[in-house]
A and B are shown apart, each in its own frame.
Chain A
Amino acid sequence: DAKTTQPPSMDCAEGRAANLPCNHSTISGNEYVYWYRQIHSQGPQYIIHGLKNNETNEMASLIITEDRKSSTLILPHATLRDTAVYYCIVRVALNQFYFGTGTSLTVIP
């Protein structure tokens, strides 16, 4: 049970912001939202995570709604190298880190 819903695919123009949505309507109060991405033939790469507040790091920003039922990953200036499958994960417990089917993001030149 992945507990998250993401669109299967999205396109984004190079240089523009990529906004990847995720629904997690059954999330509990102490469950974190994580984002990973996977580029073909590589292992999943950690991007960012958060609980309630918005978060930003060198890779991306994470916006979590006040009711915590959804979130958006923002890549501020998408490049061709950002083409990948992006996974939104709700961490239920220490070892319950389940990946869904993700969003396949294609950055278009």
Chain B
Amino acid sequence: DAGVIQSPRHEVTEMGQEVTLRCKPISGHNSLFWYRQTMMRGLELLIYFNNNVPIDDSGMPEDRFSAKMPNASFSTLKIQPSEPRDSAVYFCASSLRGASNSPLHFGNGTRLTVT
């Protein structure tokens, strides 16, 4: 079991540039979550997919943020244009839906720095 795989591990970009973060969930998991972690706000849920369909995106901070899940094995989180306040660690997690007690399994995150 390879676990949840995120890429890149680190991303440094300039303000105004487009940033795309990638996630491969655990095979067989049908729920996917994107979180953001900062010192000030801790871990925040951004968006949640079930069977590739976005269910709850109320945590997405602004229209500059968008997320897609074109198939069961891949998801992207895009920021366009990026701003310095977007600097954070972004985590992807997956779980098995259908069981309310199925734990989330997290990737090791992408550390984003916007200068």
Contacts and interface: CB of A to CB of B under 8 A. Distances in A.
Contacts, number: 50
**Main secondary structure on B side of the interface with A:** strand
B43 A91 contact: no
Interface residues of A, number: 20
A99 B42 CA distance: 8
Given A95-B45, A97-B33, A99-B43, A42 B101 contact: no
Question: Interface size class for chain B?
Answer: 20 to 34
Interface of B: 4, 31, 33, 42-43, 45, 48, 50, 55-56, 91, 93, 97, 100-101, 103-109, 111
**Main secondary structure on A side of the interface with B:** loop
Given A94-B97, A95-B56, A97-B104, 9 more contacts: A41-B108, A41-B111, A42-B109, A44-B43, A44-B104, A91-B100, A95-B33, A95-B45, A99-B42
Given A43-B109, A44-B91, A49 B101 contact: yes
B79 to A, nearest CB: 19
Contacts of B50: 94
Contacts of B100: 30, 32, 91, 93-94
Interface string A48-77: 010100000000000000000000000000
